[in-house]
Amino acid sequence: MRRFDFAGGTSVVTGAASGIGEALAHGLARRGADLVLLDRDADRLAAVVAAIRADHPDRPVTTHLVDLADAAATTAVAEEIRRSRPRVRLLINNAGVALGGRFDQVTLDEFGWVIDVNFRAVVRLTHALLPALKAEPGAHLVNVSSLFGLIAPAGQTAYAASKFAVRGFTEALRHELVDDGIGVTSVHPGGIRTRIAQSARVGSGVPAEEFEADRRQFEKLLSIDPAVAAEVILRGVERRRGRVLIGWSAKLPDLLARLAPASYGRVLAFALNRAPRPAAVPAPHRTAGPPTAPAPADGPGQPA
Q: Which residues carry out catalysis?
A: 159
For residue 246, the SS3 value is strand
Distances in Å between the alpha carbon of 257 and those of 133, 221, 262, 267? 34, 19, 8, 10
- Report the C-alpha gap between 19 and 118 in whole angstroms: 16
- End-to-end CA separation in angstroms for the chain: 32
- Report the C-alpha gap between 64 and 38 in whole angstroms: 5
- Report the C-alpha gap between 224 and 227 in whole angstroms: 8
Residue 99 has phi, psi (to 5 degrees) of -140, 125
The beta-strand segments (E) located in the chain are 10-14, 34-39, 61-65, 90-93, 99-100, 140-144, 183-189, 201-202, 243-246
240 φ/ψ sector (left φ>0, alpha ψ -120 to 50, else beta): left
Tell me the residue type at 28: L
Q: Kindly give the residue spans of alpha helices, DSSP state H, lying in 220-304.
A: 226-238, 248-259, 264-271
